[in-house]
Amino acid sequence: MMRTIVWDVDDVLNDLMYQWFTFAWLPAHPECHVSYSGLTANPPHEALGIERSGYLASLDVFRATDRARSMTPSAEILSWFQLDGHRFRHLALSARPLESAPEVARWVLEHFGAWIRCIGVVPTRTAPGIPAYDRTKADFLGWLGRGDILIDDSPENIRQAQLIGLKTLMPRQPWNQSRLTTHALLEDLTRMAGSF
């Protein structure tokens, strides 16, 4: 039986935070002396000296730009899909506002649609009257009943996925303590393909 990998999108399949920080935040805040590697929490509002709401508003504006919509996927991950992606089933799972969900779905299908054919969204900051079916990715995956491996940059998402029995891989980012490079993560996946 083919196993299913659940892929986080932002900061795993792409480099959204880096793109936002480099092309939206820094040009608008030339006085900023924080480097990308200094974003040791996600959300990074405290490191940037702003309110969480200000960070989220800036990120939401960036997500609606042509630059965000045309982000290049991770070349290493795309190459792995081309070589070994057929050895697994795949699901993309993103936690973001519903307003930007159509764009992330389009982006995933455009770049990874040969392999990822199912896209889930755990909405954040929903408007009144919008049903809150799931509050976390683990809630969504528990309801779905599918998924063997979660790949996510969030330590909390990783922890919750482990509690419901998923294998997990967390690629290194400034805001997590992982030492797992993308290259090492993909090597682990290739090994896992033959070990289930």
Sheet holding 149-151, edge to edge: 116-123, 89-96, 4-7, 149-151, 167-169
Q: pTM for the complete prediction?
A: 0.96
Read off the pLDDT of each residue in 163-188 and give the average, rounded to a whole number.
Answer: 97
* DSSP secondary structure code for residue 11 in this structure: I
Please state, rounded to an integer, the average pLDDT across all residues of the chain.
96
SS3 49: coil
SS3 75: helix
Read off the pLDDT of each residue in 141-155 and give the average, rounded to a whole number.
Answer: 96
Question: Domain extents for the chain?
Answer: 4-15+73-193, 16-69
From the list 175, 186, 176, the residue with the least C-alpha distance to 38 is 175
State the burial class of residue 139 (Cβ atoms within 10 Å of its Cβ: 0-12, 13-18, 19+). middle
Q: Right CATH number for 4-15+73-193 from 3.40.109.10, 3.40.50.1000, 3.90.76.10, 3.30.460.80?
A: 3.40.50.1000
Q: Convert the pLDDT of each residue in 101-146 to its tens digit.
A: 999 999 999 999 999 999 999 998 888 899 989 999 999 999 999 9
Q: Convert the pLDDT of each residue in 6-30 to its tens digit.
A: 999 999 999 999 999 999 999 999 9
